Amino acid sequence: MSASIQTPSQVYVPFRAGLPPLIGYWKILWSRKTFIVEYSRSELRDKHFDSFFGQLWLILNPLLLSAVYFLLVVIIRGSSDSARYVHLTATLFLFYLISNSLTGGVKAVTGGQRLILNTAFPRIMLPISAVVIALFRFLPTIFVFLLIRTILGVPFSWQMFWAIPVLLIAIILSLGLAITISCINVYFRDIASFLPYLTRTILYLSPVLYESTSLSPKMLKFEILNPLFPILDSWSRVLVLGQAPETSSMLIALAWAVVIFLLGSYIFLSREREFAVRL
């Protein structure tokens, strides 16, 4: 009598929000790191950023924006100097790293609908790829900024190496924001239309068009509510003034970045199994 062959059956249960096994999840995510890089590069190639003129536009776009804002500051204040332009370019370049992470992250999941429906992979790879793309777009501006700094005769100092931990904090914040907004956009699609107004508001509330020293003490108390303020202020202090950042600013910036990253990751991981149904 031959034994009957039983075919495995799959049972679908109602979705319940909850975290997946994190150790296994992060191992799978780490094993897909090459895919994240190649996926990001393919997105850049799709937008022609791998060509000469694409690379040139990556540099010209923030330079033109900084020139426009610089003229605006000169018109409003009636005077300016080289240090103010260096501050404007430095903070504007870093601001657009975070802004581009948000812009790319908002449609990272909804834009990857076919990939999600046909392939099994950690969905958090999609907003991470959006931040990698923003980082690729940011890197050329570093060399442009250093060139501007040299031409304008701003002195260099060893304290400028503090820019590395400031940039790492900015990347953590960018990851947290991209992960959070990509999940929110699955449930509320109108957030993508509202995002340009949000980023523009944050730009005006951050020390980009002005230095933090120009604010009154009363206004500075409210800036603790802006996650970008201590990052951009520390970035300017390090790269423009050549000074070490304030410890309080670094701690506040790190706290904001870690909290947003952990909270956004928790929300994303607890809901990602529902994305296929929502899409």
Domain limits of the chain?
81-278
User: What average pLDDT does this structure show over 108-119?
Assistant: 78
Going by pLDDT thresholds of 50, 70 and 90, the confidence category of residue 263 is very high
**What's the pLDDT tens digit per position in 174-208?**
999 999 999 998 888 888 888 888 888 888 888 88
CA distances from 25 to 59, 125, 265 (A): 37, 11, 12
pTM of the model: 0.84
CA 16 to chain centre: 30
For residue 200, give Cα distances in angstroms to 76, 132, 159, 257: 19, 22, 31, 20
Q: Where are the alpha helices (DSSP H) in 47-162?
A: 52-77, 82-106, 108-111, 113-118, 125-151
pLDDT of residue 77: 61
User: Does residue 265 have a pLDDT over 70?
Assistant: yes
Most confident of the ranges 37-46, 73-82, 90-99: 90-99
Residue at token pair 């003229």: 71
Give the mean model confidence (pLDDT) for residues 244-253.
92
**Nearest-10 Cα torsion for 238, 180, 39, 114:** -160
**Using an 8 Å Cβ cutoff, are 127 and 109 in contact?**
yes
Highest mean pLDDT among 24-33, 77-86, 227-236: 227-236
Please report, rounded to a whole number, the percentage of residues in the chain having pLDDT higher than 90: 27
φ, ψ (nearest 5 deg) of residue 206 = -105, 155
57 compared with 86, residue with greater pLDDT: 86
pLDDT band at 6 (very low <50, low <70, confident <90, very high): low
Within 10 angstroms of residue 142's Cβ, the number of other Cβ atoms is 15
Quick one: DSSP state of residue 167? H
> What CA–CA distance (Å, rounded) separates 166 from 83?
20
Q: What is the mean pLDDT of residues 95-124?
A: 84
In the predicted model, is pLDDT for residue 230 greater than 90?
yes
Q: Which residue has the higher pLDDT, 237 or 40?
A: 237
pLDDT tens-digit profile of 12-61?
444 455 677 888 888 888 888 888 888 787 777 666 566 666 667 777 77
pLDDT surpassing 60 at residue 2: no
SS (H, E, C) 203-238: HHHCCCCCCHHHCCHHHHHHHHHCCHHHHHHHHHHH
pLDDT of residue 171: 96
Region 114-139 average pLDDT: 85
In the DSSP assignment, the letter for residue 49 is T
